[in-house]
Amino acid sequence: MKYYRSHVLVCVDPDCLHRGAHEALDAFQDELVAQGLIDEVQVLETSRIGACSQGPEMMVYPEGVHYAGYTVDDIPFIVEEHFLKGRVAKKFELPAETAIDEELSAPTPKEMRVVLRNCGQIDPENIEDYIAENGYMGLAKALTSMTPEQVIDEVLASGLRGRGGAGFPTARKWQFCRASAGQVKYVICNADEGDPGAFMNRRVLEGDPHAVIEGMIIAAYAIGSSQGYVYCRAEYPIAVQTLNIAIEQARAMGFLGQNILGTDFSFDLEVRMGAGAFVCGEETALMASIEGKRGEPRPRPPFPAVSGLWAKPSNVNNVETYANVPQIITNGAAWYAGFGTEKSKGTKTFALAGDVKHTGLIEVPFGLSLREVVFDVGGGIKDDKGFKAIQTGGPMGGCLPEAYLDLPVDYESLTAAGSMMGSGGLVVMDDETCMVDIARFFMEFTQEESCGKCTPCRVGTKRILEILDRICGGEGREGDIELLETLCEQIKQDSLCGLGQGAPTPVVSTLKHFRDEYEIHIREKRCPAKVCKALIRYEILPEFCTGCTVCARNCPTAAITGERRQTHLIDVDTCIRCGICMQVCNFNAIVIR
Amino acid sequence: MPDILQNVPENDPLRNPDQKKLIDQILEVNRDRPGATMVVLNELQKQIGFVSEAMQAYAAKELKVPVSSVHGVVSFYSFFTTTPRGRHVIKFCMGTACYVGGTPQLIEKAKQLLGIDVGQTTPDGAITLEVCRCVGACSQAPVMVMDEEISGRVRPNKLPQSIRTLQD
């Protein structure tokens, strides 16, 4: 193995590729060759290391210097300064504090990185990088010094629970599957991260695929399985590609395939792609999809652990669940159980998005309060507006108002508050968000993604959406709220799978916490947050309008008229209330009435 | 019902020797894999660009499964299309963060610029306008996907420029 004194990691995420990451990589190689440094400095591709807004971004190790904002022509200068003269090329150095607003920044004091520890730190396409970070140590320990039962006991003692959202103890699932009769068993990874607002699993798959693979191999050993599948959604082409490369490398190294690490345990893995159906995140639908069928859920029992993929005992866990396993085995259950609360052990990754200052991925121990997550880790509300709600758990979760901010983040607390943990999407909403509109948005989503197999979900979600459309459209009636409540209760009770059972949650939670907004929409035909199009109109303030014509030129329906340097006018009938004029106006001359 | 394979339309990929060869190759490689239908359809969609009725019937025959089950899969998943798309596809992400971040405005602007509705293709066959599910780039909302490329923090007034790059 070659030793390098320095490693240059260039971000090849879509944003940086767009800004010439490949050209930068080539230019670095060329310049290092020209300077005779190619045996001392290694150039690698990595996933996101910064905001990618000044890409291609790059990180130089071991110093940990973050460069951005350079062009290909600046590369000889950086190489000369940094690698020949040994000093930081200050001109392009990104100070640590500006690197905060990004998908995955340096951990804030309240964070704890277990699952995300390698993301952005190693080259995901190089297995040796992973091994250097104690990768595959857990597998070696499990295979050489532990029985499958001991592995399960260790995971049980760690308190690890399913990170897909339901929070079922992982080791119990493994026990059931191990106990099921049959020679052929399957280990399946649910990488169908479909919740809008959630992208934790994508980053783990793209940034540290071997952690997931290693976790799956350990699970296979514990269960007694020889074949595994990763079911990844088609919206994540880079994750699929990274996984395939990682699987090939793991196979070449003897971590996958026949007689792993010289033992008599054999296991192999294959990636299967979804095709854009949210319901396939439900485990029985997911297995139907792997079988090449329509992704429709079926009633449980039988549970997958008894009869799953191709009617064989199968174990389905989420990406994050598997990614935790290697470190639990390596560092021991007690270490892992040291984080979190009594019933929710360890850490959880969240995708923080919406109207919060620092959007991006975070990983915190269970038990932190929502307030700490939003204000300490997330930096508070963007543009210093007021906090209105936090949406947890994706389209099957709920919206929680300010009064719930001191709630500890764990499975039980969120469920008790009428929301749920879900896979980990956290969308923060400021006081300019209309909660009725948000409920309508989620209902539109679940209505469209309902697979249509069972009637309560197929018809019920449609009926709820129609009522919400009516309320947002200014045609709400007395009794609509009560009708919504009845419908929600019935759909929740009678639907076949988690999608239908969870579909009413956004409506139920907003009705519970923001009922007054529904009432104002229905009775006063007014949208307090000024969002619902039928209930608002845009107006130009003559005292501020300079007649610059920007709004008129950007209006998609030519609803704005006016001569240059004259006050402009919006025609209420032609206006579609898209709000573009307000966004582009430089003089704050456009207001919503 | 007349056998679709007896009356394959003139412009179907099955009638194009190069594309036919590709289709056969995809079928050959994946024929014996368990759950081959999804794998084959994903490959056909990716490499041919759509899965026509004739292609569905042909795949069903080759994989020895009923046409109904192939068509059932095609119509179930949103990624499969049965008609050709434009040479370029512009998709707007409709995830929560993007929705809150202004995707609806972007779609209005794009519709105006292209003169088509969501789901349609421009008459010259250049650009198809679509709305898609969360692409997982929420920290950069609102997000637009042009072909495979993701751009974040898109503003309506920057759209004309981005769209022009595809039209050239």
* A298 — pLDDT class (breaks 50, 70, 90): very high
pLDDT (0 to 100) of residue A5: 84
Residue A100 has pLDDT above 60, yes or no: no
Q: Which carries the bigger pLDDT value, residue A93 or residue A543?
A: A543
Does the pTM exceed 0.95?
A: no
Q: Could you tell me if A461 and A491 are in contact, meaning their C-beta atoms sit under 8 angstroms apart? A: yes
Between chains, do B108 and A576 touch, taking CB under 8 Å as contact?
A: yes
SS3 category, A63: coil
Q: Could you tell me if B56 and B71 are in contact, meaning their C-beta atoms sit under 8 angstroms apart? A: yes
pLDDT (0 to 100) of residue A505: 96
Q: Are residues B69 and B106 in the same domain?
A: no
pLDDT (0 to 100) of residue B101: 84
Shortest CA distance to A392 belongs to which of A196, A115, A104, A202? A196
Best of A273, A361, A438 to disrupt the B interface by mutation (most B CBs within 10 Å)?
A273
Between chains, do B73 and A234 touch, taking CB under 8 Å as contact?
A: no
Q: Are residues B122 and B51 in the same domain?
A: no
* A108 — pLDDT class (breaks 50, 70, 90): confident
Q: Tokens standing for A342?
A: 């009594």
A343 touches chain B (CB under 8 A): no
Average pLDDT score over residue span B108-129:
92
Instruction: Determine the Cα–Cα distance for residues B134 and A405; give it in Å rounded to an integer.
Output: 26
Q: Are residues B63 and B105 in the same domain?
A: no
- Answer whether residue B81 is part of any domain: no
The string over A137-158, giving b where at least 16 C-beta atoms fall within 10 Å of a residue's C-beta and e elsewhere, is: bbbbbbbeebebeebbbbbbbb
Between chains, do B134 and A198 touch, taking CB under 8 Å as contact?
A: yes
pLDDT (0 to 100) of residue A146: 97
Q: Which carries the bigger pLDDT value, residue A78 or residue A190?
A: A190
* A51 — pLDDT class (breaks 50, 70, 90): low
What is the third-level CATH fold of A127-336? Rossmann fold (3.40.50)
* A48 — pLDDT class (breaks 50, 70, 90): low
Between chains, do B77 and A295 touch, taking CB under 8 Å as contact?
A: yes
Q: Tokens standing for B157?
A: 């007034």
Instruction: Determine the Cα–Cα distance for residues A148 and A175; give it in Å rounded to an integer.
Output: 10
Instruction: Determine the Cα–Cα distance for residues A398 and A414; give it in Å rounded to an integer.
Output: 9
Measure B60 CA to nearest chain A CA, in Å.
12
Q: Which CATH architecture has domain A6-99?
A: 3-Layer(aba) Sandwich (3.40)
- CATH 1.10.357.10 given to domain A537-592: no
pLDDT (0 to 100) of residue A9: 86
A42 touches chain B (CB under 8 A): no
- Chain A residues within an 8 Å CB radius of B92: none
Number of domains in chain B: 2
CB-nearest to A289 from B38, B78, B96 is B38
Measure B5 CA to nearest chain A CA, in Å.
23
For tokens 């995420």, the residue is A13
A502 touches chain B (CB under 8 A): no
Q: Which parts of A72-199 fold into alpha helices (H)? A: 75-78, 127-132, 137-145, 148-158, 170-179
Q: CA torsion angle for B134, B136, B141, B142 (degrees, to 10)?
A: -40
SS3 category, B88: strand
pLDDT (0 to 100) of residue A21: 85
Number of H helices, E strands in chain A: 23, 17
* A52 — pLDDT class (breaks 50, 70, 90): low
- Chain A residues within an 8 Å CB radius of B111: 556
Q: Are residues B61 and B115 in the same domain?
A: no
Between chains, do A195 and B136 touch, taking CB under 8 Å as contact?
A: no
Last residue of a domain, one of B76, B108, B129: B76
The three-point CA angle A392-A397-A403 to 5° equals: 55
In which residue ranges of chain A is CATH 3.30.70.20 found? Answer: 537-592
Between chains, do B39 and A354 touch, taking CB under 8 Å as contact?
A: no
Between chains, do A359 and B139 touch, taking CB under 8 Å as contact?
A: yes
- CATH 1.20.1440.230 given to domain A435-524: yes
A289 touches chain B (CB under 8 A): yes
Q: Which parts of B7-158 fold into alpha helices (H)? A: 17-30, 36-48, 53-63, 67-76, 96-101, 103-114
Q: What sign for the dihedral angle of Cα A433, A437, A440, A444? A: negative
A23 touches chain B (CB under 8 A): no
What value does the mean pLDDT of chain A take?
92
Residue B2 has pLDDT above 60, yes or no: no
Q: Tokens standing for A392?
A: 């947890």
Residue B144 has pLDDT above 90, yes or no: yes
pLDDT (0 to 100) of residue B96: 84
pLDDT tens sequence across A143-197: 999 999 999 999 999 999 999 888 999 999 999 999 999 999 999 999 999 888 8
Q: Are residues B108 and B145 in the same domain?
A: yes
Residue B1 has pLDDT above 50, yes or no: no
Q: Which carries the bigger pLDDT value, residue B23 or residue A91?
A: B23
Q: Which parts of A180-331 fold into alpha helices (H)? A: 200-207, 209-223, 237-252, 283-290, 319-331
Q: Which long-range contacts (CB under 8 A, 24 or more apart) does A252-257 make?
A: A253/A127, A255/A136, A255/A139, A255/A213, A255/A214, A255/A217, A256/A213, A256/A217
Average pLDDT score over residue span A403-431:
92
Closest residue on chain A to B157 (Cα): A554
Residue A462 has pLDDT above 90, yes or no: yes
* Complete edge-to-edge strand list for the sheet that includes strand A186-191: A268-273, A227-232, A186-191, A314-318
